[in-house]
Amino acid sequence: MMEQIIDQEVSTETPVISIHGLYKSFGELDVLKGVDFTVMKGENIAVLGKSGSGKSVLIKIIAGLLKADKGSVNVLGQEVELLNAKELDALRLRIGFSFQSSALYDSMNIYQNLAFPLTMNNKKLNAQQVTQAVEEALDAVGLLNKINQMPADLSGGQRKRIGIARTLILKPEIMLYDEPTSGLDPNTSSEINLLIQDVQKKYNTSAVVITHDLTCAKQTCNQVAILLDGQFLKMGPFDEVFKSTDPQIQSFYNYNFINH
């Protein structure tokens, strides 16, 4: 087994995400069934679960992209369900959402992809300030030399990096990563894991990492939380969680590290 890389200690006891009694259904399908979840400032938490377990629904609710049926969702000191559209838009600017698909605009080059959210949300910036911000974000992900290329010219790993750079350009306080290593080879996955660590250190972000990749969870996060059948089965440091003799936890571990 590889060593845990992220430091288990976090610098403060301030919660940036606090969720209590969260329920979400789609028709007769109950996806989240009374979830409690807290992320402290400066902390990365991996939410682990198989496809359909409700991981992506959880982070969409955190970002205000979906509305909970029941329960409280407090993000950066604000009750998300009580915010009007303008207040919700302002909160989302403080949250970086790294989509599984990278969500780049194929018709724009890399510079334009990063400049677009910046200029849309801060119309007072001049061209020099925009360029400086774009170059800084690209440098942070190690792809400044790709600034004039098109997304189609990039590898899958490079697209993931650019997607993260576009999120970082707005200096978010919270990062939400949706399956950051999905579809990537082991070497590229390791590069993305290192990048997630670097983002936490350089930008002092807190993060929720949605993944079924245990190597990603172990390398990037202070704690892991296993989501099963709409509820958290166990939460805590990686090694502590997977010391459990619960057969459901062991089968998840074995599926990732033994069967593959």
pLDDT in tens, 118-138: 998 888 889 999 999 999 999
Closest to 245 in 3D by CA, of 257, 259, 233: 233
> Do both 125 and 253 map to the same domain?
no
> Do both 11 and 45 map to the same domain?
yes
* Inter-axis angle of helices 127-140 and 186-203, nearest 10: 130
Q: Which two tokens stand for residue 128?
A: 């020099």
> Do both 86 and 8 map to the same domain?
yes
Of 171, 186, 216, which marks where a domain is finished? 171
Give a yes or no: residue 18 inside a domain.
yes
> Do both 245 and 136 map to the same domain?
no
Is the pLDDT reported for residue 10 higher than 70?
no
Could you tell me the sign of the dihedral formed by the alpha carbons of 251, 253, 255, 260, in that order? negative
Give a yes or no: residue 100 inside a domain.
no
Q: pLDDT category, 256, cuts 50, 70, 90? A: low
pLDDT of residue 41: 93
Q: Which two tokens stand for residue 139?
A: 């440098």
CATH number at residue 23: 3.40.50.300
Decide: pTM greater than 0.85.
yes
Number of domains in the chain: 2
Question: Distances in Å between the alpha carbon of 43 and those of 19, 40, 110, 233?
Answer: 15, 5, 30, 20
pLDDT in tens, 27-85: 999 999 999 999 999 999 999 987 778 898 999 999 989 999 999 999 999 999 999 99
Residue 29 half-sphere exposure toward CB, CA atoms < 13 A: 6
Of 151, 171, 191, which marks where a domain is finished? 171
Q: Which two tokens stand for residue 194?
A: 């290192």
> Do both 2 and 84 map to the same domain?
yes
> Do both 127 and 19 map to the same domain?
no
pLDDT in tens, 11-20: 457 899 999 9
User: For residue 228, which phi and psi values (nearest 5 degrees)?
Assistant: -140, 125
Q: 8 by DSSP, 3-state: which?
A: coil
> Do both 256 and 211 map to the same domain?
yes
Reported residue count of the chain is: 260
Domain that holds residue 128: 105-171
What CA–CA distance (Å, rounded) separates 28 from 121? 39
